[in-house]
Amino acid sequence: MTELTTTTADGLHITVRMPDNHEWVRESLERACAAEARRQIDTTPAPDPAYAVPRAAGLLDLHPETLRDYMRLPDYHPRRLHYMPGESSRGDRILLSQIHDWQRRNRTDAEPVAAPGARVKRGRPSRFQQ
């Protein structure tokens, strides 16, 4: 027996069991499940990563204090870099969408910042990893 399972957007779990000798049924169900999964992935909003000031400054190739100066400008100023305030200045975070908006408003000639890949862990390897 072949068993195919999917979940609809409403949270309904669907499981279909069928004999293995019905190849065309299995293929059509796999295509339908794949199409539903693609539709759900396409409608899911993309993540908007948040960066600390030193990391955002590195992405923009600016000194962190220069970036903080842009963050301190008045709200109505066109060069102000909007951010999410933290409990202290070390906790301030800048969303990638805010960085793109700032680049667009300031018409920088630099390439738009892309979300960097995962950081590689440095140091000696864990003795627990295998």
Q: Are 41 and 71 in contact (CB under 8 A)?
A: no
My answer on whether 82 and 65 are in the same domain is: yes
My answer on whether 56 and 99 are in the same domain is: yes
Could you give the number of structural domains in the chain?
A: 2
Residue 112 within a domain: no
pLDDT for 80-100, tens place per residue? 898 888 887 778 899 998 998
Q: What is the pLDDT of residue 63?
A: 92
Residue 84 DSSP code? B
Q: What is the pLDDT of residue 11?
A: 77
My answer on whether 58 and 100 are in the same domain is: yes
Bigger pLDDT: 28 vs 67: 67
My answer on whether 38 and 67 are in the same domain is: no
Element (H, E) at 6: strand 2-7
My answer on whether 37 and 82 are in the same domain is: no
Q: What is the pLDDT of residue 40?
A: 84
DSSP letter for each residue of 27-78: HHHHHHHHHHHHHHHHHSPPP--EEEHHHHHHHHT--HHHHHHHHHS-TT-T
Residue 121 within a domain: no
Query: Any bridge partners for residue 2, and if so which?
Result: 18
My answer on whether 100 and 54 are in the same domain is: yes
Residue 130 within a domain: no
Residue 111 within a domain: no
Q: What is the pLDDT of residue 129?
A: 58
Domain residue limits at 6:
2-43
pLDDT for 104-130, tens place per residue? 888 766 666 666 666 666 666 666 655
Residue 72 within a domain: yes
- The number of CA neighbours under 13 Å toward the Cβ of 115 is 12
Residue 119 within a domain: no
pLDDT for 39-80, tens place per residue? 888 888 878 888 999 999 988 888 999 999 999 999 888 888
Residue 126 within a domain: no
My answer on whether 73 and 37 are in the same domain is: no
| Rounded mean pLDDT, 24-31 | 77
